[in-house]
Amino acid sequence: MVLMNLWYVPYGIVRLLRMAAHPENYTLEERYALIKQIDNRAIKGGRVEIEGHGLENLPREDGYILYPNHQGMFDVLAILQLMKRPTSVVLKKELENIPFLKQVIACLGALPIDRKDPRQGMKVILQVTKEVMEGKNFIIFAEGTRSRNGNELLDFKGGSFKCAVKSKCPIVPVALVDSYKAFDTGSIAKTKVQVHFLEPIYFDEYEKMKTTEIAALVKERIEACIRQCTDTQHTDAQM
């Protein structure tokens, strides 16, 4: 991925550092366009094919939250590659000071969350709620950490859905298939990653549900999609 983009790296890094140092001098759209450009270069250089499904399911109006399963570090790159409108992410606090990622976080307006600090976590929930109500889109990984078992999911945490409940926004389940193969297998073979945007769940559908029930529902829909995809892959391989 790096070798294929050596010519682009100096240009991309300079622009990224400049925007991240003073994000207030650029619109969200300008910052997002740069991140998308870097993302596209990384995906092409890494020989990863992103296969998107269900883009028509994304709400027409901004101000919604995407809830994907979490397979690895490539997940956000795969989703952002398909998102035409600015989308941010809630990510673990341990990533906020890593070089390059720190600048990406600044440009996206991403929000680091400390999973060990409930008070800080509540501040992030309230901030996400505020920004979603103002029309910003977010990605939240409800498992809290990545699964180490490929396309198998961990339990979805009910607390991850407090932002949606408070903002009364659409919830978009996102099923990632084989995303772990891009960064987490050590292979440089050409890889295909599937991103499935499932039908949104609107507030009137979940307003009377507990957050744990919402979490279980979203997980169930993602698991069903992944199961269908992997069953199809196995059938095709046997033919």
- pLDDT recorded at residue 234: 56
- pLDDT recorded at residue 192: 94
Is 163 in contact with 206 (CB distance < 8 Å)?
Answer: no
| Cα 67 to the center of its chain, rounded Å | 8
Beta partners for 195? 52, 176
Beta partners for 138? 65, 88
Residue type at position 220: E
- pLDDT recorded at residue 233: 67
Nearest to 97 by CA among 85, 88, 110: 110
Is 171 in contact with 68 (CB distance < 8 Å)?
Answer: no
At residue 48, φ and ψ (nearest 5 deg) are -110, 130
- pLDDT recorded at residue 12: 75
H helix count then E strand count, the chain? 9, 7
- pLDDT recorded at residue 112: 95
Q: How far apart are CA 156 and CA 67, in angstroms?
A: 10
Is 126 in contact with 119 (CB distance < 8 Å)?
Answer: no
- Going across the sheet that includes 171-177, the strands are 48-53, 191-197, 171-177, 65-68, 137-139, 87-92, 111-113
The pTM (predicted TM-score) of the whole model is: 0.90
At residue 181, φ and ψ (nearest 5 deg) are -70, -20
- pLDDT recorded at residue 166: 98
The number of CA neighbours under 13 Å toward the Cβ of 78 is: 33
- pLDDT recorded at residue 185: 60
Per-residue pLDDT of the chain in tens (239 residues, 90 and over written 9): 555 554 455 667 888 999 999 999 999 999 999 999 988 888 887 789 999 999 999 999 999 999 999 998 899 999 999 999 999 999 999 888 888 889 999 999 999 999 889 999 999 999 999 999 999 999 999 999 988 888 999 999 999 999 999 999 999 999 999 999 987 666 667 899 999 999 999 999 999 999 999 999 999 999 999 999 987 765 565 55
